[in-house]
Structure 1
Amino acid sequence: MLHLLPSDMRLPFLLILSLLPACTLLQRKPSTPALTKPVYHIDAALAAALKPAAASIEIDLSRQEMRLFNADKVAVVVTQISSGRNTSPTPTGHFKVLEKLPTKFSNRYGKFVKPDTREVVVWRVWEHHGPQPPGTRYEGYEMPHWLRLTWPGVGIHQGEFKPGELSSKGCIHTPAEPQQVIWEHAQVGTPVHIRGSSASHPDAP
């Protein structure tokens, strides 16, 4: 095709061709890597047969994993979790569920918002210094499917996180689906054993 063009038009034509791939690349949107989702498994048959009085929970901080067991110590739910950071570690030991709520709103971790416009003035109240900004009100962050383990405020609840990271101030963050199943089968008094350590985890504050 190039040899059919007059000689004085060949150079401009080649320049146009050389620019076409670059233009195509400029117009193409950069690909966004897919976020890794937490891994979990729910045995639907065992869950359907599980009575709350027979349920128990075990949490391994070293593996960042939580299991819901039946009376025969067979795992009904296995899920990745995200526990407390090194500056606010999750406590270990034997606990019992002290409180069960469909949703809890934190009285410690929240934001200051303007009620009329819903504008967030301060996102992280616990890092805010000075008085509350005028014209704002405090709103605690939502913690769905809440299971309290200590009265000072450590609990198990649904929370977003990236697998492998430590994200909380001491609570156990879980994916939504397995936490709903665990919450439904737990009751006040359900035993919870937390063991292991995340002290060697690379996540700092």
Structure 2
Amino acid sequence: MMLRLLFGIGLLSATALTPPAFATDAARTLQIVVSTDRQSLAVYDGAEVVATSKISTGKQGHSTPNGIFSILEKERYHASNIYSNSPMPFMQRLTWSGIALHESGFVPGYPASHGCVRMPKSFAQKLYQMTEPGVHVVIANQPVVPQPIEHATLFHPPVSALDMPLFSGLELRPTNSIFLKASEPIEVATNDTASLPVPAATRQPTLIDQAPLRILITRRDLRGNVRDLQVLLSGMGYDAGMPDGMLGPTTVQAIGNFKKAHNVTATGGLVSAALMKAVYDIAGKGEPPNGTVMVRQGFRPVFEAPAMIAEPEQALGTHFFTAHDVDKIEGKAEWYSVTLENDLSREAMKRLGITSEEQSNSLNAADHALDRITIPDDARRKIEDLLTAGSSLTISDTGVGPETGDGTDFITITKNGGSSKKG
């Protein structure tokens, strides 16, 4: 069991910080919470406040996006190439499109930046010493406080985890990274976003020993459905091409041949619920999954697996869970959760088949979301074998966000930052 760090710090109106004294594993349990309404930042170790500071987030027209982020890289001396090489000391990047935490000489305690989170000099320097890449940053309007949570759906290491092989037989499906090319940088924390590498679809994931897992459970998207159709149709003798999730001519022809052979009349688009059910039935695979669980480690995809979401007409909401302590001897994990405001548009609700947000707005929304999720036992075992302190789980209706890509954790945007102008 990892030793808990004890601090006696209260919330202060300006800046407060204890001297950093974190081992690597302990640092991974930290979580940074930014409130745009309060213009405040709090650092948590579990449910315990480690430090607080005033900040300045994005002003009107350059709003800081809300959501779940993590520190992607750190740079003591950084200059913006968009804003005349403006200094951004002690920069801690949150997105490749330009959002970061950094020191500033102007932190008035009201929105004043071009999208970044500005911090006073002394706080920015000390926070930089406390963190490492992978530490999570949650940005919300109102401050959210991590709360301890226990639920059967949350992951716990097996008692014999230290003696078990990590991969016992699950057929892992490497996930494809999605890379965002921002059209309008906000407050840029990179000198050359155009030169960032786009990952090859065939890149094999690399496991980083002891790196915390990043787990996302969300609704299955069109690409996931198409990829499953390609596998199942090809297995039944209908050549659907490579299982890449793309509706190319070969896949479209295979779908047409299947529908004709089995007299399937399906409305609601080429890849309809009726088509999915017919293919699964005839392939003998049971009910088609309506959800997916994706796993990353060390900023790289590891695997994904199907999931089932009960009551799909109800919004899941957006919930973030972190494993603070993971005891592989006792087979226990201590989890904390925060629930973020769900900002689903009518168009998104229609696309996702959501007709009610009642559960996602309830007091026990996180528990309701966990109650509705079922994932395969093999996938659960793989996750629990790899679980370490600092691992996290995001549950969201909206899937893999456009900021998620090569060299990131899962980035979930709950509210966009609005328009931004260069210069």
TM-score norm. by structure 1 comes to 0.58
Q: What aligned pairs does 1:107-122 form with structure 2 within 5 A after superposition?
A: 107-110=81-84
Q: Distance in 2 between matches of 1:56 and 1:67?
A: 8
Q: 1:69 to 1:141 in 2, by over 3 A?
A: same
Residue 160 of structure 1: how far off its partner (Å): 1.9
Q: Distance in 2 between matches of 1:42 and 1:95?
A: 22
Given residue 74 of structure 1, which amino acid in structure 2 is its aligned partner? E
Asked whether 1:53 is paired with 2:28, we answer yes
Partner of 1:93: helix, strand, or coil? strand
Q: What aligned pairs does 1:77-96 form with structure 2 within 5 A after superposition?
A: 77-96=51-70
- Pick from 122, 125, 128 the counterpart of residue 177 of structure 1: 122
Contact 1:59 1:65 (C-alpha < 8 Å) held by counterparts: yes
What CA RMSD, in Å, does the superposition of the two structures yield over aligned residues? 2.0
Q: Distance in 1 between matches of 2:22 and 2:87?
A: 30
Q: 1:162 to 1:104 in 2, by over 3 A?
A: closer
**Gaps (5+ residues) in structure 1?**
1-37, 111-139, 198-204
Aligned to 2:399: none
Asked whether 1:39 is paired with 2:2, we answer no
Residue 49 of structure 1: how far off its partner (Å): 4.7
Q: Deviations over 1:54-113 (max 9, x none)?
A: 22111000100011222x321211000000001100000000111111111111111xxx
TM-score norm. by structure 2 comes to 0.29
More strand by share: 1
Higher gyration radius (CA)? 1
Q: What aligned pairs does 1:140-179 form with structure 2 within 5 A after superposition?
A: 140-179=85-124
Contact 2:21 2:130 (C-alpha < 8 Å) held by counterparts: no
Partner of 2:90: helix, strand, or coil? strand
Aligned to 1:105: 79
Q: Distance in 2 between matches of 1:145 and 1:151?
A: 16
Structure 1 runs (4+) deviating above 6 angstroms are: none
Contact 1:97 1:148 (C-alpha < 8 Å) held by counterparts: yes
**Gaps (5+ residues) in structure 2?**
1-12, 143-420
Q: Distance in 2 between matches of 1:175 and 1:75?
A: 19
Residue 185 of structure 1: how far off its partner (Å): 1.4
Q: What aligned pairs does 1:6-85 form with structure 2 within 5 A after superposition?
A: 39-44=14-19, 47-49=20-22, 51-70=26-45, 72-85=46-59
Q: 1:99 to 1:91 in 2, by over 3 A?
A: same
Q: Deviations over 1:121-158 (max 9, x none)?
A: xxxxxxxxxxxxxxxxxxx1111110011111110000
Q: Distance in 2 between matches of 1:163 and 1:142?
A: 18
